[in-house]
Homo-oligomer: A and B are copies of this chain.
Amino acid sequence: MSEQSEATPSAVDPGLESAPEHPGVAQLFAALACGELLAFERLARELDFAPDQQGRIAIASMAGAEMTHFDRLAAEITARGLDVVAVTEAYMPVLTRYHARTTPRNWYEALVKAYIGDALAADFYREIVPALPAAAADVVRETLSDTGHSEFVVPQVRSAIVANPALRSPLTLWGRRLLSEAITQTQEVLATRDELAALLFESSGDLAGIGEFFDSVQTRHAERMRTLGLA
């Protein structure tokens, strides 16, 4: 696909600089921006569960970082002559559905969701970078670069499970549910947003790309569950 040739440094095409950008790029930024906005909203709501000032600050800092990402993506959308309000609104239903189906009922579910959600987003960002035109890849890399805010979760969850082993089983189920809902809603987006699916999976030539993508996400999810002490 000629629109994708910017992603291949070895491509020699004098028309490259002025080639129209793949329309999936703006859609991708819109989907990511909407994801950041809703992640912010949900994290902010979960402040109510924070048992202490440390937890409150940690969750608020994560939420703040989501809005820094949002602002970066919004600037890119605006630079493309698009209206941030309109393009992000289109992704609200599917992302609202994800959060409605994964609403934490307590502090530990909120922590696990923050950690797993952050990591799944980072996985997703990392997987799509190679499929993107260079300029778009830079934006996604930058947006990814300051994650890691959720690392405070690991010792908290691990020590909670040691203190109260009965937490392990429900939190393990919770982690599985987070992954399965994330995959379901991502598939929903890809099924309904042709430009986005084309952008991300055209380079692989067939649908195998999607399968490999989800396999890789699942492998890393399993590692992270072990890190949290959730077998």
Selecting from A60-68, A155-163, A176-184, A197-205, the interface stretch reads: A60-68
A223 part of interface (Cβ distance < 8 Å): no
In the complex, A176→B1 CA distance in Å? 61
A95 smallest CB distance to B (angstroms) = 12
A143 smallest CB distance to B (angstroms) = 14
Interface band, chain A: 20 to 34
Q: Chain B residues near A74: list those with CB within 8 A.
A: 57
Asked if B53 contacts A85 (CB within 8 A), the reply is: yes
Supply 24 A–B pairs (Cβ within 8 Å), ascending by A. Answer: A37-B57, A40-B60, A40-B64, A41-B56, A44-B44, A44-B63, A53-B86, A53-B92, A54-B85, A57-B74, A57-B84, A57-B85, A60-B67, A61-B67, A61-B70, A61-B71, A63-B63, A63-B67, A64-B64, A64-B66, A64-B68, A64-B70, A67-B67, A68-B68
A interface, CB within 8 angstroms of B? 37, 40-41, 44-45, 47, 52-54, 56-57, 60-61, 63-68, 70-71, 74, 84-86, 88-89, 92
